[in-house]
Structure 1
């Protein structure tokens, strides 16, 4: 019997029942009504059950493909863990339609061990199918997922935040910063909740890994990577207290339904294996993918060869969600060092002098400078001193001296009346305001027939607008400078790696700041007028920087240089480097540098060089540079840089 005939038959039977059985009582009426519903309901369900074509359409939808991390180009999934899939035993052949059907079947399966049921292992798939194909789950069991509900805090999460940890020059994997996802409960909007759950993506690197192997494997996909979950206080301790890195919290304005879907998919991804690539398929790439599950527009183009945490933060700052900005608020989470420095800087000069007196006086409080202060002023001084000893504990080897000093401070603090700190940390320079990480530059040198072309995939130099980055430093990878004239193209300079940092003291107190350092590995000319003076060069240096005023910083470095060109009489030498960084305004900054070489380095070049470079412009996307250098002869240039 076809569905239409069955429908007519059931209707006639229902009318017949109503005619021959009069409604003599309430109970009788209820029985008859249930019988009628039973006879007619089957037809409605049959009409609404999705067809094979509808199921196929859903299996090719963007959201389903994102849920199984299907790679449209490779026709497989980026996930390397076969336990993530239900329709195949290998990750090399993923069929979205078969996976959807297998998921529906698993969601409807009888319950044996609740937390092992598909509804508990794949809650995001369950939410998606329940919304798109609700009648396919009509007879599915009701499962209580204790582990997921406990982790999800019974849906107590009200919003999501993307956390950006600033760059860290002591570890190549942290040069460009790091991203985390934080799940905020209701109270997190008002103040930072360290017990919030967070999601991290990182490579599984063996302890004490060889640095060369570490870099090579990170670049070529030699490491597996997984999502992991931890309470946020662990990341706050690792980044803010140990590495002394500021973090920036970008709270997102997603609605509750989308928040729940992202969290449910996060649960599915924990400890699921991916391949890790340092420059692309990294924390920024994977967390952006996760957020794109609920966004209409992508946060980045997958065709890009480089994806940095900044790439995603910058994209978020320009992104909309349901016709409003996706970023609801921005909060800075200062490191232990930043807390100490900003509290110290907020003190009046006489209070700063009191801090110096206590520190240099072996943490005794009987000096006149301290005793002359009011109780409120003493409280401010002691608060800075507590942060200072905490900072020292993080930077120095563990010892009892800092603990004893902190005990002295706390004993002194107890003797004073209670007071409340009202320090407000600076939030004027969030990282998305900095210049974009990749650069191409076009300019003219000396005359219009000599063109300069430069390309730098990453990351910033001493004149770059460095919001959210390390001040007075540079990190350059793989920069290539070409000189083009009418007859030929010449490689002028290639920088495989160029790192420089001053490590300035912000307060003048012991342990704050230290030696600056630099590393250069590349190919360059040591003379503007010598065609045979191009060398492969390794340069390392140590030095000190001094901030003369808030706008002027100076430095003096000693450098050891090794070259591989046999043209020179010596293969190694030393030089001294003297420099000034001058912040004239937000739009103008200059770098002046003078170098003095060992006079026996080469008979073909002079033993000194000078350079002056100035940046004009305050845009994230462009600037103009004017540069003059003297290495045997003068070379002047003007160039336009585009950042992307």
Structure 2
């Protein structure tokens, strides 16, 4: 069965191979995790026995515990012309479970990225199983299949990130009602959902469910970048479609949106259905309200204004959505529940008087699979202080603030594994920059929603300042602040931030400083433009000021040209000034 390659099972050899399942209960042979021959023989013996191997009423016999594996073995034996008699076993527990799930169709669900949670930064995928005659909205009663790490309650985000990268968690499949996932993602985490019907027959869905039954309570290795939710789901879909290679391209990392693209490339996805998050629905309906009407919305939610005194259905509806939005972040409060009920009654009453009103639907954004790909290479030519140079850049993932925006969040970026090499004319190639991790969350605030703007960067910088001889420094910097959206497609932000750096020239010199960063971004028809100014004072007395102008011009979804101008001005404790500038232009390609 899956997690054991069928092409190696039947050749009878003891090949060197290790299953990705780490749970010994998944194997019949003692060394079945690594010994393909022993597991093949032990599986056949287990399926031939008339007596039960497993306790409990749900899976008393090997054929009932592993129905998909049993089906595969019979198929492989038949292909080889080998006849083995197996007992006929009834599996009531398995049949009851199948009837309960009632899955005859399958849908892939992509939950959009959510920068305020390390586990959600790159998005998430899971499956939904539907009945054949499922109608609109009734899919909420369908069942969802999720794969995730088991995280102890109260673990910090930093610890989660470390253990997720290092393989410190076990991952498990879990099946649950779809409405629970809707609540979790659309409301509690404010994430939009994209649903893609999968091109699977009823027989293929049945094979998929048979394997899901086998994987209940079975532990896997879990890694944040490769052996994650999306990778495991692709492995499952390879069970349903044995001739389709879905995981072959993900040898280093499996970012959820890339796995969606692979399914589309293999023509397995149908037309998508978009489910907007609670915050998107709230803001879409609030846009048409005046400042005075927004004040009424807040008063209704806070209980200082009676719902019966408001005659505008639009105001009542936004107030109800606003209260719903704030409720999910708080523990159960009888007073808030009472206000919500009063608003709902007022909405129902007012709807009979103004039946033509309908809530504003959020504008459907570009679908995730049409976004640019995650990895990127770039070449550029430029000049620094009259010296010509050429840069070569590689980025393992995923999206920066100026990249083509379709399918991504405005003001959001995640870069990991970014390396820049530079060669000046007549000199050797040298390291210019490394981003181990670079995250920006420039979420604009408004009257009803005030998310924090924040950024963090860990990497190696070349510090353009005479006090450190333009040397490389290992550094960490970050901060928090506020962003606003003064007009459509414009973003203005400001942050207070700090920086700690350690020079890599062998001097042992370290530096700590604090300052501010502000900028303006515009999402135009040709691409994204930005202007940013930062100023930082260090404990040694040095003040560094940096001004950056950048324009990204989109050519295609995966290619663009970027122009960049930078100006540095450093003031030293002795009162001396140092001024430098650089300009470059480059071609960027996402793959």
Secondary structure at the residue paired with 2:482? strand
Q: Which residue of 2 aligns with 1:344?
A: 286
Q: Which residue of 2 aligns with 1:26?
A: none
Q: Which residue of 1 aligns with 2:512?
A: 572
Distance apart, 1:299 and its partner CA: 2.0
Alignment of structure 1 residues 155-170 onto 2, 5 Å: 156-170=102-116
Q: How many residues align?
A: 561
Aligned Cα root-mean-square deviation (Å): 3.4
Structure-2 change in CA distance of 1:337 and 1:188 (3 Å): farther
Structure 1 window deviating more from structure 2 (217-226 vs 622-631): it is 217-226
Structure-2 change in CA distance of 1:619 and 1:123 (3 Å): farther
Distance 1:271 1:387 in 2: 38
Alignment of structure 1 residues 86-97 onto 2, 5 Å: 86=28, 88-96=29-37
2:182 equivalent to 1:236? yes
Distance 1:477 1:522 in 2: 10
Distance 1:535 1:143 in 2: 67
Q: Which residue of 2 aligns with 1:474?
A: 413
2:576 equivalent to 1:630? no
2:18 equivalent to 1:84? no
Q: Which residue of 2 aligns with 1:619?
A: 556
**Residues 27-70 of structure 1: per-residue CA shift (max 9 Å, x gap):** xxxxxxxxxxxxxxxxxxxxxxxxxxxxxxxx9999735999x9
Secondary structure at the residue paired with 1:617? strand
Extract structure 1 runs of 4+ deviating beyond 6 A.
59-63, 70-73, 135-138, 566-570
Alignment of structure 1 residues 282-301 onto 2, 5 Å: 282-295=228-241, 296-301=243-248
**Residues 497-548 of structure 1: per-residue CA shift (max 9 Å, x gap):** 222112213xx334x1233111122222342777435433222212211111
**Residues 297 and 315, structure 2, Cα contact 8 Å, conserved in 1:** no
Distance apart, 1:600 and its partner CA: 7.6
Q: Which residue of 1 aligns with 2:214?
A: 268
Distance apart, 1:588 and its partner CA: 1.4
**Residues 166 and 247, structure 1, Cα contact 8 Å, conserved in 2:** yes
Q: Unpaired segments of 5 or more residues in structure 2?
A: 569-578
Structure-2 change in CA distance of 1:439 and 1:66 (3 Å): farther
Secondary structure at the residue paired with 1:598? strand
**Residues 363 and 409, structure 1, Cα contact 8 Å, conserved in 2:** no
- TM-score (norm: length of structure 1): 0.79
Secondary structure at the residue paired with 1:415? helix
Q: Which residue of 1 aligns with 2:47?
A: 107
**Residues 67 and 125, structure 1, Cα contact 8 Å, conserved in 2:** no
Distance apart, 1:555 and its partner CA: 1.2
Structure-2 change in CA distance of 1:66 and 1:234 (3 Å): farther
**Residues 622 and 641, structure 1, Cα contact 8 Å, conserved in 2:** yes
Distance 1:468 1:188 in 2: 28
Structure 1 window deviating more from structure 2 (614-623 vs 173-182): it is 614-623
**Residues 432-479 of structure 1: per-residue CA shift (max 9 Å, x gap):** 122212212111121895111112112211112344443212212232
- TM-score (norm: length of structure 2): 0.85
Structure number with bigger Rg:
1
Q: 1:549 aligned to 487, 510, 522, which one?
A: 487
Q: 1:538 aligned to 476, 483, 495, which one?
A: 476
Q: 1:489 aligned to 401, 416, 429, which one?
A: 429
Alignment of structure 1 residues 163-312 onto 2, 5 Å: 163-188=109-134, 190-191=136-137, 193-209=139-155, 212-295=158-241, 296-301=243-248, 304-312=251-259
Distance apart, 1:259 and its partner CA: 1.0
Q: Which residue of 2 aligns with 1:640?
A: 587
Q: 1:462 aligned to 379, 388, 401, which one?
A: 401
Distance apart, 1:255 and its partner CA: 0.9
Distance 1:343 1:278 in 2: 36
Secondary structure at the residue paired with 2:211? helix
Secondary structure at the residue paired with 1:328? coil
| Greater share of helix | 1
Distance 2:93 2:186 in 1: 30
Q: Which residue of 1 aligns with 2:293?
A: 354
Distance apart, 1:261 and its partner CA: 0.6
Structure 1 window deviating more from structure 2 (178-187 vs 190-199): it is 190-199
Structure-2 change in CA distance of 1:189 and 1:626 (3 Å): farther
Distance 2:257 2:2 in 1: 31
Secondary structure at the residue paired with 1:216? helix
Structure 1 window deviating more from structure 2 (621-630 vs 134-143): it is 134-143
Secondary structure at the residue paired with 2:415? strand
